[in-house]
Amino acid sequence: MTFQELDLSKKYTYADYLKWTFQERLELIKGKIYAMSPAPNRKHQETSQNLSRILGNFLLEKKCKVYAAPFDVRLTPRKKDKSGKIHTVVQPDICVICDLEKLDDAGCVGAPDLIIEILSPGNTKKEMKEKKEVYEENGVKEYWIVHPTDEYILQYNLENGKFVGGTHYFDDEIVISTAVEGFSTTVSKVLEE
């Protein structure tokens, strides 16, 4: 079977995802398939490398781990779904996991503490809306959206099960993490070329 032969109206699970051997990179969000861009642009990659380096250096000798895409994060079913099947497998650009029990050889099972998505021309509004919702309902403590073109970071924090904030940071403004204790950085360091 090829990617083009998949029935996009069908709801898929992690078990289906494991069987696929397509060349295209895919994410599964609430059972729906999202094709990922073939290769992110240079600015996206520089931003990802900057974040990986900044977070990696900060986390040296600390209990939390940082991972960059491609890295599968399997999120548990929505509360209404009692089937126990996993319908969401995402590959965040960057994620930080402090509960190392969530890690296995295939990636992460459950919500990372911090997820960072870097926008690129291939991201759709629907995809970003779906991801924000699924991150919120699965208990991701903090979610950043980095916009390299418009040069800002948008930060959401989970409070009482809902993302709050939606605070924009620009230039030399300091973004202070609420999920990764003691971590902060400036937008300019993240977007440095």
Q: How far apart are CA 161 and CA 139, in angstroms?
A: 7
Model confidence band, residue 98 (pLDDT cutoffs 50, 70, 90): very high
| In-domain check, residue 90 | yes
| In-domain check, residue 177 | yes
| In-domain check, residue 34 | no
| In-domain check, residue 16 | no
Neighbours of 36 (CB within 10 A): 18
Q: What is the mean pLDDT of the chain?
A: 89
| In-domain check, residue 97 | yes
| In-domain check, residue 72 | yes
| In-domain check, residue 136 | yes
- Tens of pLDDT along 23-69? 777 888 888 888 776 677 889 999 999 999 999 999 999 999 999 99
pLDDT exceeds cutoff 90 at 184: yes
Q: Which domain holds residue 176?
A: 40-190
pTM, two decimals, is 0.90
Find the CATH number of the domain harbouring 46. Answer: 3.90.1570.10
Q: Tell me how far CA of residue 141 lies from CA of 75, 97, 136, 177, 191, in angstroms.
A: 14, 11, 8, 10, 23
Q: In b/e form, how buried is each residue of 154-190, taking b as 16+ CB within 10 angstroms?
A: bbbbbeeeebeeeeebeeeeebebbbbeebebbbeeb
DSSP 3: G
In the chain, the number of structural domains is 1
With beta carbons less than 8 A apart as the criterion, state whether 28 and 91 touch: no
pLDDT exceeds cutoff 90 at 128: no
